[in-house]
A = this chain, B = another copy of it.
Amino acid sequence: MEMRTTDLKRIRVTDEFWKSEIELVRKNVIPYQWEALNDRVEGADPSFAMHNFRAAALLRERMEKDPEAKAPVFDPKTPFEVLPKEGEAPEEDRFYGFLFQDSDLYKWIEAVAYSLIGHPDPELERTCDGAIGLVARAQAPDGYLDTYYILNGRDREFTLLRENHELYVFGHLTEAAVAYHDATGKDVLLSCAEKFASYIRSKIGPEEGKKRGYPGHEIAEMALVRLYGATGKKEYLDLAAYFVNERGTLPYYFDRETVRPRNRIKGELPYAYYQAHLPVREQKEAVGHAVRAAYLYSGAADVARLTDDDALKDALRGLFQSIVREKMYVTGGIGGTHVGEAFSFPFDLPNDTAYAESCAAIGLVFFARRMLLLEPKAAYADVMERALYNGVLSGMDLTGTSFFYVNPLEVLPEAVRRDSRLDHVAAVRRKWFGCACCPPNIARLLSSVGAYAFTESDDTLFAHLYMDCEMEKTVSGQAFTLKETVEKAGGRLTVRFRAEGAPEDFVLALRKPGWCDEMTVDGPVLRETDGYVYVSRNWAEDPEVTVKIRYFVKILAADPRVRQDAHKCAVLYGPFVMALEEADNGKGLAALSVDGGRALQEARIGKTGILGREGVTVTLPGFRTEAPDGAGLYYDAGSSIKRPAELTFIPYFMWANRGENEMQVWTHLD
C-alpha cells in the first residue's frame, strides 16, 4: 500500500475553525508579512529579505554589463547577522539580516501558493510573480542562489555547511518552488530550484572531487524529496538519501570545515546539536536543536519510505518515541531549553524556561505526518494534531499580526521583565523578529492545513483531522467528491462523510482520536487497526458514513520523572490543551489548584470571545491557597487557607490575546 499526501488542490476546507485560520493567513498574515519582508512595518525589526534579493540582482546586472568587474571577496569577519551601522540607512548593494534571511521570502511564497489554491487572487499572484522574478534575477548564471554569499563573496560558498545555512536556504527555495508550481503551473521558481540543485550536486556528494558534506540545518532532505515528486527526477531523491546517509558518519565532515566547532550542548556528543553525532540510523535519542532535528527526521522518513529502508524506518520509530515518551511538552512543543534551542535531557520539561519554538512544533507536525505515510497509526496523528492545535497555533495571535518565537507553558510577566534567565521568553507576541523563521513558517502550514487532514493510498483515504471540507478522489479510475461535515455539540462530534459516486473498493479509514471516550461508526466496519476504523460499502447505494465521537474534559498527569509537573495536571478538551490565564483567574496562578475529586463531575464547558474569535472554556472546581494575615515569607503550613475557587481555562493557543498577563498550563492537582 503506497501512501502519499493529498494534493491541496483537491481539497476545499470549509471548516469554521480552520477556515478562519486560513482566512487570517490570507487576509492578514500574507499582506502583513509582505510588508515585513519589505521593511515597511513600523516598530518591527527590519527583515532585509527583499532588500537582499534586489542587491543581488543589481550585482548580477553590474557583473553582466562589465565582465571586468570584480566579484565581492568574502571577509572572514562577516557576521552571522549583518546590521546597518547605527543611525545609518542600509547600503543598496550590501547584505543585511541573518545569513538565512532568503528563506523568509521563500516561506512567504509557499504560503501564498497554498492561499492561491484555495482563493485565487490575481493581484497577490502578480506581487508574488514580481518577487519570484527578482529571485531569478538574483540567481547566479551557474545556478548558485544564496544572497548572503552572492553579496559577501562566493569564494567562501559551501565552506561552512555546518553553520551557514546555504542548503537550508536551498531547501526553502525548493519547497516554495514546488508549491508555487503546483498552485499556478508557473515554473520560474521551480527552474531556479532545479538550477541550484544541479549546482549543489556538482559540488557536494560522495564522488571524487566533491565536498562530502551535508546540511548544517536540515530541510533540504524533505525539499529534495518533494522536488523528486514534482519532477520525477531520481537524482533529487538520491541527493536527499545521500544527505541522510552521510550525516554523522566518521570522520565527521564538519571537522574538515574551516571554523573550529563548538560543542554547544553540555554532556552531549560532538555535533549532537546538528544531529550529526551519529549516523541517523544509529540515533536513538532525539537531541540537539529541535527544529533541525524535526526537519531531519521528516526528510529521513521521506527517504526511508521511498527507498523502503527498514533500518532507517526503525531508527525513526525510535526517535519519534524518544520525543513523545520523554521530550514533548503536552502542547506538542519540543525543545526544553534555549541553550541551543534544543531538546533537554529526558523528562526535563521546564514550563517557564521552555523553548518550544513555534517552528519546532511545525517540524513535529511534519515528522508525525511523514510517520503516518510510513504506517497509518493514530498515535502519530494524535501528536500531529496536538502540536497543530496548540504548540503551532499559539505562535500567532488571533489577528495574525504578532507572533511567538518561544511558547512557554507558564508565564509570569514580572519574571519575563526582570529575570535574564528568561531573556528568550516574551510575555506578549511580537510584531516580527530579526530572525523571523517562525511567522512565515506558521503561515505556510496554516494555509495548507487541509492537506494535513488526510493521507491516502490508491484506494484508501485516511481521515486524520476531522474538518468540514470537500475533497476529490479517484479510485479505480472513478472520480468522486467526498464531502465531510462536522457538527459539534456539547462534547459530541458528529462527522458525516458523503462519498457519492465512489466505487465499491474505496475505503475510508477513520481515526479514533486519543482524546475521545467513545467513537462509533454507523454501518459495517471492515476492521479496526492501530486506531483507525476502516469502512467500505456499496457507496452508490449508501454514500454516507456517520462517525460519532463522544469526549469530555481530560485531566492529565505527567510521568513522575517530569519533576516540573509533579503533582500537577494539565486539562485537555478535545484537541485543545487548556490554560489558565490571569484575565480569567486573577493573579497568582501558582496558588490555584484543581479539586481532583470533583473536577470531572462538576466541570462546566462554556464559551469565550477574544478579539472576535470564539473559544471553548472549561471551568473546574478548585482552590486558591492563601497565607493567613500577617504571615511572613515562611509560615506554619497548617495555617494555610484554602478558599474555594472556580478555575476557568481557555485553549492554550488563545492565550496572550488580552494584554500581558500570567498564564499556566500545568496546575496543581489537589
Spell out A's residues near B (CB within 8 Å). 265-268, 324-326, 328, 330, 337, 339, 344-345, 348, 353, 412, 414-415, 417-421, 423, 554-563, 566-567, 569-570, 588, 590-591, 593, 596, 600, 625-627, 631-638, 640, 668-669
Q: A417–B266 contact, CB under 8 A?
A: yes
Q: B337–A669 contact, CB under 8 A?
A: no
Closest B residue by C-beta to A626: B560
Query: Could you give 15 example pairs across A and B, Cβ below 8 Å?
Result: A267-B417, A324-B633, A326-B633, A330-B634, A339-B420, A344-B419, A345-B419, A556-B634, A557-B634, A557-B640, A558-B633, A559-B632, A561-B588, A566-B591, A567-B668
**A563 cross-chain contacts in B, Cβ below 8 A:** 412, 590
Task: Choose among B344, B348, B631, B637 the residue that contacts A669 (Cβ–Cβ < 8 A).
Answer: B637
Distance of A634 Cα from B571 Cα, bound (Å)? 11
Q: B420–A554 contact, CB under 8 A?
A: no
**A638 cross-chain contacts in B, Cβ below 8 A:** 555, 596, 600
Q: A348–B625 contact, CB under 8 A?
A: no
Task: Choose among B324, B345, B353 the residue that contacts A632 (Cβ–Cβ < 8 A).
Answer: B324
Closest B residue by C-beta to A423: B266
Q: A593–B570 contact, CB under 8 A?
A: no
Q: B631–A559 contact, CB under 8 A?
A: yes
A590 to chain B, nearest CB (A): 4
Q: B414–A345 contact, CB under 8 A?
A: yes
Distance of A559 Cα from B637 Cα, bound (Å)? 10
Closest B residue by C-beta to A345: B418
**A562 cross-chain contacts in B, Cβ below 8 A:** 633
Q: A558–B345 contact, CB under 8 A?
A: no
Q: B353–A421 contact, CB under 8 A?
A: yes
**A265 cross-chain contacts in B, Cβ below 8 A:** 420
**Residue among A266, A558, A634 facing the most chain B CB atoms (10 A cut-off):** A634
**A567 cross-chain contacts in B, Cβ below 8 A:** 567, 593, 625, 668
**A570 cross-chain contacts in B, Cβ below 8 A:** 634
Task: Choose among B348, B419, B557, B668 the residue that contacts A337 (Cβ–Cβ < 8 A).
Answer: B419
A420 and B634 contact, Cβ closer than 8 Å, known pairs A345-B414, A560-B590, A561-B588: no
Distance of A420 Cα from B570 Cα, bound (Å)? 27
**Residue among A337, A423, A563, A636 facing the most chain B CB atoms (10 A cut-off):** A563
Distance of A166 Cα from B216 Cα, bound (Å)? 47
A34 to chain B, nearest CB (A): 34
6 closest A-B pairs (Cβ-Cβ)?
A: A563-B590, A557-B637, A560-B591, A566-B590, A267-B418, A345-B418
Closest B residue by C-beta to A669: B637
A400 to chain B, nearest CB (A): 30
Q: B419–A266 contact, CB under 8 A?
A: yes
Closest B residue by C-beta to A641: B560
**A557 cross-chain contacts in B, Cβ below 8 A:** 625, 627, 634-637, 640
Q: A420–B337 contact, CB under 8 A?
A: yes
Q: A636–B554 contact, CB under 8 A?
A: yes
**A421 cross-chain contacts in B, Cβ below 8 A:** 337, 339, 353, 421
**Residue among A268, A328, A567, A668 facing the most chain B CB atoms (10 A cut-off):** A567
**A600 cross-chain contacts in B, Cβ below 8 A:** 638
**A337 cross-chain contacts in B, Cβ below 8 A:** 419-421
Q: B627–A328 contact, CB under 8 A?
A: no
**A419 cross-chain contacts in B, Cβ below 8 A:** 266, 337, 339, 344-345, 348
Closest B residue by C-beta to A668: B567
A637 to chain B, nearest CB (A): 4
A339 to chain B, nearest CB (A): 4
A267 to chain B, nearest CB (A): 4
Q: A418–B590 contact, CB under 8 A?
A: no
A625 and B556 contact, Cβ closer than 8 Å, known pairs A566-B591, A567-B593, A634-B570: no
Distance of A336 Cα from B597 Cα, bound (Å)? 36
Q: With A265-B420, A337-B419, A557-B636 given, name 4 new contacts (CB 8 A).
A: A268-B418, A345-B418, A557-B637, A570-B634
**A625 cross-chain contacts in B, Cβ below 8 A:** 557, 560, 566-567
A556 and B417 contact, Cβ closer than 8 Å, known pairs A563-B590, A567-B593: no
Q: A325–B266 contact, CB under 8 A?
A: no
**A339 cross-chain contacts in B, Cβ below 8 A:** 419-421
A220 to chain B, nearest CB (A): 29
